[in-house]
Amino acid sequence: MDTAATPLEEIARFLRRVQWAAVGLFVLWLIWLLAPVLTPFVIAAMLGWLGDPVVDRLVASGRSRGMAVALVFSVMTLIFVGLVLLLVPMVQRQIVTLIESVPKYQDWLVGTALPWLEGRTQLDVRRWLDVDYAVGMLRQHWESAGGFAKNVLGYVTRSGSMLLGLVVNAVLVPVLAFFFLRDWDALLARIAALIPPRHLPTVTRLASESDEVLGGFLRGQFMVMLILGIGYAIGLQIVGLDLGILIGMIAGLLTFVPYVGPASLLVLGGAAALVQYGDWQHLAGVLAVFGIGQVVESYWLTPKLVGDRIGLHPMAVIFSVLAGGQLFGFLGMLLALPVAAVANVLLRYAEERYTHSRLYAGDGPTIVLDASTPPHPGHEPA
């Protein structure tokens, strides 16, 4: 029978907890302080984590670790360069088209949308919302800046330290990603060697569950976003929308939050169809693209690529990204999903420990009924 802890033991235990809390706060403060330096390392570590399963499969097939890392790294580099060369000119043309279409959207908003809304809600929207002024200011800023990309490029060029930092990060990320890919298993083994042996099975289980949750979300949801973004863009282009590629990409990127991606496709695509054509045929085309996308996502993409093992609620994802960005900037946004996945696994483990604890179950004996045992003849159900 366990003896009760003495007051000195209780004080020592409390002081140890205070020390660990102080260490945790110090680590968070250090991460916040070193966020710009840690960002390329975090990006490279995530690339290494995503590519390590492929490297392991190639090694299992008989290739050397160096050859497998070189193949995976080359493929990742080619994919990234190809996406940049393909998407950047396309997005630039779409943004130019959007800027040139602002007067047309302004006329439709003031002459069609607001009168229709006021006629059905009996609200004088234009009295408290100066649409002409807002759209005029938007056009003025876009034209004076020469576009968002030109404005950012000019600011970065004028800031020598920021330009140098971007160049250094652009060089560091591929180099660090290569080393993470090559040494990933060795790093995990070294971390495992630091864990006390009595806690190693529990930590291994929690790490495996976290990897499954995060891997299922990132790999599966990324493929869903990519396929839907391409499908939406092609569908809206077939409908004939000038901004179909841009709207399809936005809807695809927002697909990781249920209802937000499809809603953005309906709102933006419907508005673009009404402004550009003003008829119900093209609006029906947008609805058809939306319906086909929802059927493909619900009955094939999500069950096949994501499944039901993620366990991350959309609100948890949004809160994690916003909170991480608020606390640690871009680094916090990168770490938000991994931290949320680990926290989700730890919360499930804490719930499991709680339901098996004396606080939940009490001190009395627990009667376990075996469902396979037939009931007593005198107590058969009616």
Dump pLDDT digits (tens) for 203-236: 888 888 888 777 777 777 788 888 999 999 999 9
Give domain status of residue 322, yes or no: no
Give domain status of residue 27, yes or no: no
The residue behind tokens 């770490």 is 335
Helix (H, G, I), strand (E, B) or coil at 275: helix
Q: Of the residues 134, 164, 194, which one is the last residue of a structural domain?
A: 194
Cβ distance 245 to 233 under 8 Å?
yes
pLDDT (0 to 100) of residue 198: 86
For residues 168 and 304, state if they share a domain: no
For residues 271 and 149, state if they share a domain: no
Give domain status of residue 82, yes or no: yes
> The domain containing residue 168 runs over which residues?
38-194
pLDDT (0 to 100) of residue 238: 93
132 or 229: which leads in pLDDT: 229
pLDDT (0 to 100) of residue 379: 47
Q: Of the residues 178, 194, 210, which one is the last residue of a structural domain?
A: 194
Give domain status of residue 132, yes or no: yes
308 or 60: which leads in pLDDT: 60
Closest to 225 in 3D by CA, of 272, 202, 193, 257: 257
Give domain status of residue 61, yes or no: yes
pLDDT (0 to 100) of residue 354: 82
For residues 50 and 146, state if they share a domain: yes
For residues 117 and 182, state if they share a domain: yes
Q: Is the pLDDT of residue 179 over 80?
A: yes
Average pLDDT over the chain, rounded to whole?
Answer: 77
Q: Is the pLDDT of residue 148 over 50?
A: no
pLDDT (0 to 100) of residue 304: 75
Q: Of the residues 310, 326, 344, which one is the last residue of a structural domain?
A: 310
Closest to 208 in 3D by CA, of 223, 194, 224, 192: 192
Answer yes or no: pTM beyond 0.75. Answer: no
Return the exposure string of 171-189: e unless at least 16 CB atoms fall within 10 Å of the residue's CB, then b: ebbeebbbebbbebeeeee
69-73, 250-254, 276-280, 313-317: which has the minimum mean pLDDT?
A: 313-317
Q: 49 burial class (0-12, 13-18, 19+ CB within 10 angstroms)?
A: middle
Total domains present in the chain:
2
For residues 207 and 271, state if they share a domain: yes
82-91, 244-253, 311-320, 336-345: which has the minimum mean pLDDT?
A: 311-320
Most confident of 107-116, 139-148, 235-244, 332-341: 235-244
85-94, 106-115, 284-293: which has the minimum mean pLDDT?
A: 106-115
pLDDT (0 to 100) of residue 139: 57
Q: In one letter, which amino acid is 58? A: L
Give domain status of residue 332, yes or no: no
Cβ distance 27 to 163 under 8 Å?
no
For residues 121 and 179, state if they share a domain: yes
Q: How far from each other are the two terminal CA atoms of the chain, in whole angstroms?
A: 46
Give 236's contacts (C-beta < 8 A, 6+ positions apart).
243, 244, 245, 247, 248, 269, 272, 286, 289
CA distance 200 to 167: 41
For residues 59 and 174, state if they share a domain: yes
The string of pLDDT tens digits covering residues 2-28 is: 455 677 777 888 888 888 888 888 888
Most confident of 158-162, 276-280, 288-292: 288-292
Q: Is the pLDDT of residue 155 over 50?
A: no
For residues 114 and 211, state if they share a domain: no
Give domain status of residue 11, yes or no: no
124-128, 212-216, 291-295, 363-367: which has the minimum mean pLDDT?
A: 363-367
For residues 189 and 223, state if they share a domain: no
Cβ distance 247 to 272 under 8 Å?
yes
22-31, 45-54, 285-294, 305-314: which has the minimum mean pLDDT?
A: 305-314
pLDDT (0 to 100) of residue 131: 57
For residues 58 and 180, state if they share a domain: yes
For residues 119 and 53, state if they share a domain: yes
How confident is the model over 75-102, as a mean pLDDT?
A: 84
Give domain status of residue 16, yes or no: no
For residues 55 and 190, state if they share a domain: yes
158 or 321: which leads in pLDDT: 321
pLDDT (0 to 100) of residue 285: 93
CA distance 208 to 218: 15
DSSP line for 48-110:
HHHHHHHHHHHHHTT--HHHHHHHHHHHHHHHHHHHHHHHHHHHHHHHHHHHHTHHHHHHHII
